[in-house]
Amino acid sequence: MGYSSDIGNIEFELGAKTLERWLIKPEKTMNIVLGIPKERAQDERRVAVSPPGVQILVEQGIKVVIEKGAGTFCNFTDLDYAEAGATIAGTPEELFEQSNVIVKVSPPQPEELSLFNPGQMLISALHLGTVSPHLLQTLLEKNITALGFEFIETRDGELPVVRTLSEIAGSLAIQTAAKYLETGYGGSGILLGGIAGVPPAHVTIIGAGTVGLFAAQDALGLGAQVTVLDKEINRLRRFEAFFNRHLVTAIANDHYIAQLAKSSDVMIGALSPKRRINKPLVSEQVVKSMKPGSVIIDVSIDQGACFATSRHTSHTNPIYVKHGVTHYCVPNIPSAVAKTASFALTNTLLPFLLKLNGHETISDILWKSHSLRKGTYIFKGYVTKQILSDLADFPYREIDMLLAAF
């Protein structure tokens, strides 16, 4: 009987202790050190996180390291960041060495690739139209977990970072077009909105997404005549309803594009950022038919090109003229308003950066966050987006399968 009682006591004691471990188990979590390097891409003036954003991250227990001078073009000083709780790194080497998560605006530049340490996480734009196989190869070899702004997606299918940057790009596209229509810039000398007795400019927007929405909104606000083209009829219906039929819509086929090019003073390429553009929608012959002094703004240039005559330009040398048409094909248009764009990017990125906190591993982070999981394009030595695998011929695995395996 005594023997039986002893066994019972032991069982009870073990059970109680097991339960106690479940109840008071201390959380073993990663110490997130988030590094924000100075942008080194040509004419990239934005910074990934503003000082107020850094303060929120630090208050939530995330250590932030920022490279000296990273916020200069946005008029954010090192003192602003230090007062927000960030540590200032004097060199990029120092920053990469201290950080396990790197957050950038533009994709890593060739000179930055050697700075990555194995096992780090990268969060930045990818720019499908200019993605480098060498970049992917390096990230794969160093076992980097890489997330692209273009892929971060909420459960309802929204692309929040892309939308934020697209809003700015759409508005700036009209502001830019108005400038290059001016006589002093070699334009046709037409006021975008016209005046009483003088017709306004005709603006054609190819793409009924977020860029197209904000471009149409600003163009109509200035008084321009606006036509929007898209291949999906339901998107055009939404535009007509949203703008109360104050614009014209048409299906984006060769016939309508060719017709509208002849009468347009401005054509804006605003195709969806979800996929790489393999073939331009507007042929060189169609561009030749445009009026002398008209303007092309190819917002889609970072995904490929909407116009056959498009080639990359920069904020330093933003335009060139071909067939009498001024072309503006800057891939990082929002960088022209670096401070506004940096605040907007911070507002959108912050909820996702906060999701990094309180997890044991990177796998745990991705497993528990749908948005970050959808944003991942490299994980555990594999490409996890089919489009990139096809583009660069790298081994592809679905992210869910990899997470289940690891």
pLDDT per residue as tens digits for the range 336-355? 999 999 999 999 999 999 99
**Burial of 363: CB neighbours in 10 Å, binned 0-12, 13-18, 19+:** middle
Q: Which of 80, 265, 302, 327 is catalytic?
A: 302
Q: How far apart are CA 351 and CA 76, in angstroms?
A: 21
DSSP-derived pairing of the beta strands 202-206 and 225-230: parallel
CB 173 within 8 A of CB 279: no
Q: Output the CA torsion sign for 360, 362, 367, 368.
A: positive
CATH architecture of the domain with range 166-331? 3-Layer(aba) Sandwich (3.40)
Q: In what order do the strands lie in the sheet with 295-298?
A: 248-251, 225-230, 202-206, 266-269, 295-298, 325-328, 319-322
Q: What pLDDT, in 10s, does the model give residues 340-399?
A: 999 999 999 999 999 999 898 999 999 999 999 999 999 999 999 998 888 878 889 999
What was the pLDDT predicted at 275? 61
Task: Classify domain 33-158+337-405 at the CATH superfamily level.
Answer: NAD(P)-binding Rossmann-like Domain (3.40.50.720)
What one-letter code names the amino acid at 373?
Answer: R
Catalytic residue among 127, 202, 327, 359: 127
Sequence-separated contacts (24+) of 384-387 with Cβ below 8 Å: 385/148, 385/151, 387/128, 387/275, 387/276
pLDDT tens for 81-105 read 999 999 999 999 999 999 999 999 9
Nearest one of 300, 222, 206, 301 to 261, comparing CA atoms: 206
Give, to the nearest 10 degrees, the angle between helix 338-354 and helix 51-59. 10
| Domain 33-158+337-405 and domain 166-331 have a common topology | yes
Token representation of residue 227: 């036509």
What pLDDT score does 303 carry?
82
Mean pLDDT split into 10-residue runs, the chain, 406 residues: 43 38 53 96 95 97 97 97 98 97 96 96 89 92 96 92 95 97 96 95 96 97 97 96 95 96 97 73 97 96 91 95 97 95 97 93 93 96 91 88 86
Nearby residues of 167 by Cβ (< 8 Å), 6 or more positions away: 210, 214, 344
In sequence order, what are the beta bridge partners of 326? 295, 321
Beta-sheet pairing, 121-124 with 248-251: unpaired
Report the run of H or E that residue 373 belongs to, with start and end. helix 370-375
Examine the residue annotation and report whether 134 is marked as an active-site residue of this protein: no
CB 106 within 8 A of CB 82: no
Sequence ranges of the domains in the chain: 33-158+337-405, 166-331
302 is catalytic: yes
